[in-house]
Amino acid sequence: YAMLLSLIFLIVLVAAVVGFVFRHEIKTNFESNLNLALRDYNMTADQHSEAVDTIQRTLHCCGVQNYSDWERTEYFTQRGIPRSCCKSQDDCSEEDLKDLSKAKLKVFVDGCFFLVTSTMESKMSVVAGISFGIACFQLVGIILACCLSQYITNNQYEMV
C-alpha cells in the first residue's frame, strides 16, 4: 500500500513539475490553437466553434488579442464578427458586426487569450494549495503504512 501511494505521489509530483516548467509552451500552444479555432470558425456547430463561443460569452471577450482579429477570418467576410462577442444580443445587428468601427461599440473589445491566461494564473494558488494538502495526506498515509508494516513484521516473531 505504501509503495502504491508513493507511486501516485511521484506521478503527481512529476506532473506538477512538468506543468510548471513547460507553462510558457502551454500558453504558446493555447494561443496558436485559439488562432486556429478563429480561422476555422464556421456557422456549423463543431466543437471548436462552440468552444470559441463559450469562451467569448463567459469571459466577455472577443478574438485572440482583440476583436479586430476576426477581420482576418473567412467568417468575417461572410457574416462579420460572431454574435457571441456582442455585449447585448438585442443591440447587435448583422450590419453592425460587419463594420469594425460600428462593432467596436457593440462587442467586447478585449481579447480572450489574456483573459483566459490571467484567469488560469489567478486560480493557480488555489490549485497549488489543494494539491499540497492532498500531497501531505499522501505522505502521512505512506508513513503510517510503513509503520504498520514494520509493526506487523516485528510482532510475528513475538507471538510464539
The tens digit of pLDDT for each residue in 34-61 reads 888 888 888 666 788 888 889 999 999 9
Q: Specify the amino acid at residue 38.
A: L
Each residue of 128-155: pLDDT tens digit? 788 888 888 899 999 999 998 888 877 7
Distance CA 113, CA 124 (A): 17
Find, among 19, 56, 58, 51, the residue nearest to 36 by Cα.
51
Q: What is the pTM of this model?
A: 0.68
The whole-angstrom separation of Cα 128 and Cα 73 is: 38
